[in-house]
Amino acid sequence: MIDYEVVARREAYGSYLKAYPYLPKGHLFSKLVVQLFLKTSGKNWEGVILPEDDPLMIIVDGNGYLCNPKLPMDREIPYFAILEEFPLCDNLEVIEEIKTFAAKTFLALEKAWQLVPGNRRLIDFKVEFGTTKDGELVLADVIDSDSWRVLDSEGGHLDKQIYRDGGETDEVLAKYKIAAGLTGLFQVPNQQVILWAGSEDDDLDSIEKLLSKYVPYGYKVTRNVCSMHKQPVKGIFELNQLVHKIPDSVIIALIGMSNGAAPIIGANESVPVITVPANYDKTPNDVFSSLHTPSLTPVSTIISPKNAALQALKSLSMRNPRIYMELRYAQEKLLTNVLILE
């Protein structure tokens, strides 16, 4: 086991408000906050006496600085203990791997909670990590109502906070049973992206390559080639077969000459349709046949195959915690948390 407790936070609650008392309770972090707390006992670490147990770790220039978790950060001058060597401070890549692991785990659970009935949301969790005998980093903990904070739309808890606040045992047990039942609904759905081409000359390989890194996360990629202009009855029949087998689908139509095939698909299928004008660079006019469409022929037109693949994945991620985890993590790496002062 690694001597850190790792906390991921979507909103400001609990001990975070002690460190940043000027934040309103429930302040939303667009970018997950991931913190490391050094595990200690008896206010002692390697012979160094500490004011409080489980201090917050701040890493600057490869050095670990400990902060009193009960004091506001603006009073942490100087830090009460400055040591050059804490666990893994000589290997910051592993520290970053731990933070990434914790963040992705949180994001998957965040979406899973969003999908169960009751409009509940994951606020934060605390987990621990370890390494196997082969040196593999693993999340070595149980994630449940003892280690996370989950709230409903009215601010009610489904976690240990009820016990902390002096709730009766029967009330705590009832909430834990509800949480157990809801987590039993967590799942990765059966989904697919249908890649549709009008002819063998349309290059589906480039889009399939973009999608391939996400294939392990609960969906499949199905290719189909049929001209909706020359064989519309055959095409609609084949589409109906594919969507009937896996209703949770998104269609990407990579169409060359005359891009009107995608609106035909959109008019005859109930799933989202994205069209990519394959020869847009050579014949820009092809794009207008999928932009200016009649009523009841919904279709999204995206010129970039990469963006078309990403849009399809975003559609699936609304119901797929694992795809959401990957896409949201990539987005949050580019975000910065802000505080609005009124």
Interval 265-300: pLDDT, tens? 999 999 999 999 887 878 787 788 788 888 999 999
**How far apart (Å, rounded) are the C-alpha atoms in residues 337 and 133?**
38
80 pLDDT more than 70: no
The residue-averaged pLDDT of 31-54 equals: 89
**How far apart (Å, rounded) are the C-alpha atoms in residues 27 and 33?**
12
221: confidence class by pLDDT, cuts 50, 70, 90: very high
Strand 273-277 relative to strand 300-301, pairing: parallel
81: confidence class by pLDDT, cuts 50, 70, 90: low
**How far apart (Å, rounded) are the C-alpha atoms in residues 323 and 249?**
14
317 pLDDT more than 60: yes
Structure-block tokens of residue 103: 């963040």
pLDDT digits (tens, 9 = 90+) for 117-132: 888 999 999 999 999 9
115 pLDDT more than 90: yes
Structure-block tokens of residue 242: 């594919």
- To the nearest 10 degrees (0 to 180), the angle between helices 232-245 and 261-268 is 50
78 pLDDT more than 60: no
3-class SS of residue 185: coil
Could you give the percent of the chain with pLDDT greater than 90?
Answer: 55
Amino acid at 279: N
- To the nearest 10 degrees (0 to 180), the angle between helices 92-115 and 321-332 is 130
CB 64 within 8 A of CB 86: yes
Domains of the chain plus CATH, in order, are 4-183 (3.30.470.20), 191-319 (3.40.50.1970)
Residue linked to tokens 């906050």:
33
Long-range contacts of 168-177 (CB under 8 A, 24+ apart): 175/145, 176/145
pLDDT of residue 322: 94
3-class SS of residue 255: strand
318: confidence class by pLDDT, cuts 50, 70, 90: very high
Residues with Cβ within 8 Å of residue 205, at least 6 apart in sequence? none
How distant, in Å, are the alpha carbons of 21, 23, 27, 39 from that of 341? 14, 10, 12, 35
**DSSP structure class, residue 217:** G
Residues with Cβ within 8 Å of residue 24, at least 6 apart in sequence? 12
**How far apart (Å, rounded) are the C-alpha atoms in residues 105 and 93?**
18
3-class SS of residue 212: helix
pLDDT of residue 73: 84
143 pLDDT more than 60: yes
164: confidence class by pLDDT, cuts 50, 70, 90: confident
How distant, in Å, are the alpha carbons of 21, 138, 173, 179 from that of 170? 33, 35, 5, 14
CB 35 within 8 A of CB 6: yes
Positive or negative, the CA dihedral 140, 91, 16, 40 is: positive
Average pLDDT of every residue of the chain: 89
pLDDT of residue 82: 60
DSSP β-bridge partners for residue 122: 150
308 pLDDT more than 90: yes
208 pLDDT more than 80: yes
229: confidence class by pLDDT, cuts 50, 70, 90: confident
**DSSP structure class, residue 77:** S
Tell me the pTM: 0.91
**How far apart (Å, rounded) are the C-alpha atoms in residues 113 and 178?**
13
For the chain, where are the E strands, in sequence order? 4-11, 28-38, 44-45, 48-49, 56-60, 63-67, 81-83, 121-131, 137-139, 148-151, 191-197, 219-225, 249-255, 273-277, 300-301
Q: Residue 258's CB: how many other CB atoms inside 10 A?
A: 17
The residue-averaged pLDDT of 3-27 equals: 93
pLDDT of residue 29: 96
DSSP H helices in 116-204: 161-164, 169-183
CB 9 within 8 A of CB 121: no
pLDDT of residue 76: 65
